Chains A and B, each alone.
Chain A
Amino acid sequence: MDPVLDKEIPNLDAEFPNLRASNAKRTSEPTPQYNCIAWAAGDTKRKWWPGVGKEAFWPHGVSGKAKVESFIAAYRTKGYSVCADGSFEAGFEKIAIYADGTEPRHAARQVPDRQKWTSKLGNSPDIEHDLADVEGPLYGRPRIFMRRRLPRQTR
C-alpha cells in the first residue's frame, strides 16, 4: 500500500465543486514549499508568483503584474510556447493556465503517460485530475495552453 496515494484528498468541496475522489488521485503529501505555478514549471523548491518581493520567485525580466500575459512570459522561460488546446500530443508536455477573467489563478501540467493533469492545490497535496476537475469559483477556467517538446527517450 502506498502511504500517500491511499490517503484521501482533503475535503475541498467549497473551493473545488467538481473534484471527486473517483476522478482525481492524490499524489503527494501536503507541503507549503512550492505552489501550483511552480509545480507546473517543474520547480518543487520554491513558490512562484509575480510582484510579491521575496515571498516568491519570479523569472528575471518578466513583468511583475499578475496578468495572464506575465504568466505566459514566465513559462516561456521554461521552454513553453502558446498552443491551441490541451489535447494530448505525442512528444509534447503541456500546461494549462487557469484564470478568472484576466487574473491568473492556477496552472496545471499534463502527465502525458496517463492522459491526466497534475496540480498543486495551495498548501494541500498534489493531485492528478482532469482539466475540469479544478474549475470553479476559486481558479476559474483554463484560458491558455502552452506546450514544450519532451526530451527524446534514449533507448
Chain B
Amino acid sequence: MSRDAAAAIYYEEEWVDDRKEEVKRSEEWMASSNAEREFYRLCAWWELDTRSEPSIAKIIAHPAYREIVALGRAVLPLILVQFQVRPNHWHTALSEITGADPVPADHAGDLAAMAKDWLKWAAENSGTF
C-alpha cells in the first residue's frame, strides 16, 4: 500500500470516529433533553396532585415523585434548582439518588434551610454528578 493510500484510510477512519463521537454526543444530548422534559412534566403532575395533601408520607410516595427519583442523577441539577426556587419535599429524592444527607437534624421540616444545605453540598460535590 502506498503511503498516500495508508494516510487516506487513516483519515477516513478518523473521520468515521469523529462522526461516531458526534452521534454519541447527540444521543446523550437527546437523552438529557428527554429527561428534562420528563422531569418538568412529572413535577407539574406531582405539584398539582399534592397541593392540598397534608400527609408528607403520601406526598413523597406519589407515583410522579417516585418516577422523578427513578430518573436518577440525570435530573439532580434540575431538582437542586427546583428546591431553591420552589422549596418542596426534595430532600428524600436527593438523598435516595445521591446516598448523601447533608441536612442537620435541627433543620428537619424547614424547607428553606434544607434547600441551602443541599446547595452547599452540591457546591462541594459538583465533580460527583
Interface centre among A16, A66, A104 (most CB of B within 10 A): A66
Instruction: Contact check, B86 vs A32: say whether CB atoms are below 8 A apart.
Output: yes
Which residues from 74 to 116 on chain A have a C-beta closer than 8 Å to any C-beta of chain B? 103-106
- Give the CA-CA distance A15 to B86 in the complex, in Å: 22
- Give the CA-CA distance A123 to B91 in the complex, in Å: 17
- Give the CA-CA distance A54 to B93 in the complex, in Å: 12
A121 interfacial contact with B, CB 8 Å: yes
How many A-B contacts at CB < 8 Å in the complex? 82
Instruction: Contact check, A105 vs B109: say whether CB atoms are below 8 A apart.
Output: no
Chain B residues with CB under 8 A of A122: 50-54
Scan B47-70; emit 1 where CB is below 8 A from any A CB, else 0.
000111111110010000000000
Chain A residues with CB under 8 A of B111: 32-33, 46-47
B107 interfacial contact with A, CB 8 Å: yes
Secondary structure at the B interface, as helix, strand, loop or mixed, is loop
Chain B min CB distance to A39 (Å): 11
A117 interfacial contact with B, CB 8 Å: no
* Residue from B55, B88, B89, B110 within 8 A of A46 (CB atoms): B110
Instruction: Contact check, A123 vs B54: say whether CB atoms are below 8 A apart.
Output: no
Scan B9-38; emit 1 where CB is below 8 A from any A CB, else 0.
000000000000000000000000000000
Given contacts A51-B57, A54-B101, A55-B60, contact A46 B52 (CB under 8 A): no
Chain A min CB distance to B57 (Å): 5
Chain A residues with CB under 8 A of B57: 49, 51-52, 66
B97 interfacial contact with A, CB 8 Å: no
- Give the CA-CA distance A46 to B112 in the complex, in Å: 9
Given contacts A52-B60, A54-B109, contact A106 B54 (CB under 8 A): yes
Chain A min CB distance to B80 (Å): 16
Query: Chain A interface (Cβ within 8 Å of chain B)?
Result: 12, 15-16, 32-33, 35-38, 45-49, 51-58, 66, 103-106, 121-124, 138-139
With A38-B109, A51-B57, A124-B52 known, 8 other A-B pairs at CB within 8 A are A32-B86, A46-B109, A49-B54, A49-B109, A52-B56, A54-B108, A105-B54, A138-B52
